[in-house]
Amino acid sequence: MQNTQHWDFRAEEVKVIEVDADGGDIVLAAEEGITIKVELTGDFKPGKTELAMKIEKSRLVLTVKSKKSWFFFGGSCKNGFKISAPSRTLLAVKNGLGKVSIAGFAAGAAISSGAGEVQLHGLSGPISVKSGAGTVNGEIYSEDLEVKSGAGAVNLAWTKNPGSGSARIKNGAGSTTLAFPEGSKVAVKFKSGAGTMTNELGEDSSAPFKVEVKSGAGSLAVKKF
- Spatial neighbors of 165 by CB under 8 A, at least 6 apart, are 142, 143, 144, 145, 208, 209, 210
What's the pLDDT at 78? 87
Q: Is residue 186 part of a domain?
A: yes
Q: Is residue 18 part of a domain?
A: no
Residues paired with residue 29 on neighbouring β-strands, in sequence order? 84, 103
The series of mean pLDDT values per 10 residues for the chain, 225 residues long, is: 75 98 95 98 85 96 81 66 99 95 99 96 98 96 97 96 97 95 96 93 94 95 97
Q: Is residue 81 part of a domain?
A: no
CA distances from 33 to 37, 55, 88, 211 (A): 10, 18, 11, 36
| Bridge pairing between strands 165-171 and 144-149 | parallel
Q: Which residue segment(s) compose the domain that 167 sits in?
A: 126-225
What's the pLDDT at 70? 46
Q: Is residue 158 part of a domain?
A: yes
What's the pLDDT at 73? 43
What's the pLDDT at 43? 83
DSSP string over 151-196: SS-EEEEESS---SEEEEEEESSS-EEEEE-TT--EEEEEEESS--
Q: Is residue 195 part of a domain?
A: yes
Q: Is residue 24 part of a domain?
A: no
Q: Which helix (H) or strand (E) holds 69?
A: helix 68-71
What's the pLDDT at 4? 58
Number of domains in the chain: 1
Q: Is residue 140 part of a domain?
A: yes
CA pair distance 219, 202, nearest whole angstrom: 17
pTM score of the predicted model: 0.93
Q: Is residue 26 part of a domain?
A: no
